Chains A and B, each alone.
Chain A
Amino acid sequence: MADPPPPVRVAAWGCITPFGDARSTHAALLGGESALEAVPVLGREGGDPVPLALLGGRTLDETAPPAWLSSVKRLAATVPAGDWGAPGRPVFVTGSNFGVGGLYALRRTGNAAFAEWGAPPTCTERLRLEFGWGPDVSILSHACVSAHLGLLQATRAVHAGIADEALVLSFDFLSPFVSGGFHALKILNSEFPAPYRERAAGSIGLGDGAGFAVLSRGRGDWSLSGQALYNEMHHFTSNRADGSGFAACLEGASAAAGGRRVWFKGHGTGTLEAGRMEVAAASAAFPAAPIVGWKGGLGHTLGSCGLVELAVAIESLRHGRAPGTIGGAGPPMAPAVALESFETAPYGGVVCASNAFGGAHAAFLLSDA
């Protein structure tokens, strides 16, 4: 089994959510706020109301150019300048849906103006030109662990000496394509999510989100270590009942923690079985770690969740306080689930984990450099 890569530093970070930038998002989550609102699942075409967190001023329906573009530009403007995409400065763009809302609009309206943002290659190329990046822009897409894959690829490029620094950018914006699909899977319904809480039926919320991180070998106050992946390949939408997939992925972060007390930022979408297994695995790997999940406040930002929540985790460490688990009511799945915010000083870092369809898992330890 391959060892995780050596630690890498986070030299810059940021995110954008319906709450605003990373600092504003952290503050809102500390206050227990939720950006989720009931929105018709097919936008202007109606359908059941489902909990979605859309960027301010945006509707679920696609526009040409996309309404989310201004938000991605605003986020990209906060990325430190650095000749990105040139030799030695690779960019890793990650996401699950890219401009797929454009494909939905294209099919419904026949308007070819929606096509140019519709597929990952065309969407990313448009952004590359928009931001003046060089040609070394790769696209990684693996549903909700996409951002973690970008971080891992960037880390390897830095440590192999083929990148001085690397930029990872992740974005995912909702559309009827996405909400309709999750609604068809019966996990996005009218109930708002209650991550890590026991209830009769599970439900998720979805959210708009984008984030970035600049990784460097020697620059930055924060360190990513113990990066690991695991793919159960058991079923598209469920996990092995013994939770072994969750446990396997946490081995790297556990070794990196080296016995230090840590807190755990989980995936926690609001589904029941996966939530229980995740809590059990986290508790076993990191006894006494408070477990939090923020998707009850942000919605699940899908392909960007790894980077959006990394940014919030960094803000938590910077400001010494982590938001508790947000959303719903009902008994927590385990005593370790932290429902209230708490001080981060007693802990040596935070393990950040994400999971995806196909039983995909990803995790790393974030700590002071």
Chain B
Amino acid sequence: MLERHIQFLVTDDPGEETAAATRERLKGHFPPGATRRMTTLGLLLGSTLSRAEPGEDDGLVYATGYAESCALEGFLDSFPTPSPTLFQTSIHPSAVQQLMIGRQRPVRELMPLSGGPLLAFHALRASLLSPSPRSILCGGEEKGTWLLAHGLASDRTFAFAAALTRERRPGAAGRIGILRDEGKGSLGLPAFFDLLHARRPFDGMIAPGWRLRLEWL
């Protein structure tokens, strides 16, 4: 079994909150003026990730199915005079970079994953295989507009950041691990987020051949 302790966890599920309201709610987490180029995903991901205080020697794994949908939509809409800001912002893993560049915080290892029905499993596997003593698994989505109509964006907005450690330290929230299993089920990123957000225990398939065990203290 590959497993780690959940040393720290923060989640944000804005529900039906508008992008403008999210910006207003979260802008205090960032220096004045820093949010003018940040996306909704960047604000959400940044505010959750910042609370995990990523350090240079942490391994950072970032999972998002559709990444910067709104920046992508905006960039596509800016043609025939494409916006360099929106081009840059639309490139994965922009949301993590929006925070970390804003804070001038290097990190040795950043593994941005994207998409796929087994994204939660692949991201968790990457975190559990990281040699760093502390691996921060973070992720999220932002709701799209016209891309969503074509099934190419998320229909939900959310973000999370979990600091996973090999050693259990005081204040640990839980334990998470994966082990081989003959079963066939899977768990998408939104459902994985819901487990974290609700602090719900889980013992079931996360991917064909792999079982997830999630326990809370």
Contact string, B67-111, partner A, CB cutoff 8 A, digits 1/0?
100001001110111111001100111000100110111111111
Contact string, A61-73, partner B, CB cutoff 8 A, digits 1/0?
0000000000000
Say what secondary structure dominates the interface of chain A: mixed
Residue B122, interface by CB 8 Å: yes
Taking a contact as CB atoms under 8 Å apart, the answer to whether A103 and B72 are in contact is yes
Which of chain B's residues 172-188 have a Cβ closer than 8 Å to chain A?
A: 180, 186
Interface residue from B59, B112, B116, B133 paired with A124 (Cβ < 8 Å): B116
Minimum Cβ distance to chain B for residue A248 (Å): 8
Contact A233:B101 (CB < 8 A) given known A1-B57, A121-B66, A138-B116? yes
Which of chain A's residues 78-95 have a Cβ closer than 8 Å to chain B?
A: 87
Q: A160–B2 Cα gap in the complex (Å)? A: 10
Taking a contact as CB atoms under 8 Å apart, the answer to whether B116 and A139 are in contact is yes
- Count chain A residues whose beta carbon lies closer than 8 angstroms to a beta carbon of B: 63
Q: Write out the residue numbers on chain A whose beta carbons fall within 8 Å of the beta carbon of B118.
A: 135-138
Minimum Cβ distance to chain B for residue A142 (Å): 5
Minimum Cβ distance to chain B for residue A225 (Å): 15
Residue A365, interface by CB 8 Å: no
Q: Write out the residue numbers on chain A whose beta carbons fall within 8 Å of the beta carbon of B81.
A: 184
Residue A125, interface by CB 8 Å: yes
Taking a contact as CB atoms under 8 Å apart, the answer to whether B114 and A42 are in contact is no
Taking a contact as CB atoms under 8 Å apart, the answer to whether A139 and B113 are in contact is yes
Residue A242, interface by CB 8 Å: no
Q: A136–B207 Cα gap in the complex (Å)? A: 8
Contact A229:B108 (CB < 8 A) given known A135-B208, A160-B129? yes
Q: Write out the residue numbers on chain B whose beta carbons fall within 8 Å of the beta carbon of A140.
A: 111-114
Q: A184–B89 Cα gap in the complex (Å)? A: 13
Across the A-B interface, how many residue pairs have beta carbons closer than 8 Å?
A: 181
Chain A interface (Cβ < 8 Å from any Cβ of B): 1-3, 5, 42, 45, 47, 87, 96, 103-104, 106-108, 112, 115, 118-122, 124-125, 134-143, 149, 153, 156-157, 160, 162, 176-177, 180-186, 229-237, 245, 248, 357-360
Minimum Cβ distance to chain A for residue B172 (Å): 21
B16-24, B26-34, B146-154, B194-202: which lies at the interface: B146-154
Contact A232:B79 (CB < 8 A) given known A3-B131, A135-B207, A357-B91? no
Minimum Cβ distance to chain B for residue A116 (Å): 9
Can you report 16 residue pairs joining A to B where beta carbons are below 8 Å apart? A2-B57, A2-B130, A87-B208, A106-B150, A119-B66, A120-B115, A121-B115, A139-B122, A140-B113, A141-B67, A157-B125, A160-B129, A176-B79, A184-B81, A185-B87, A234-B106
Contact A142:B93 (CB < 8 A) given known A2-B109, A118-B152? yes
Q: Write out the residue numbers on chain A whose beta carbons fall within 8 Å of the beta carbon of B77.
A: 107
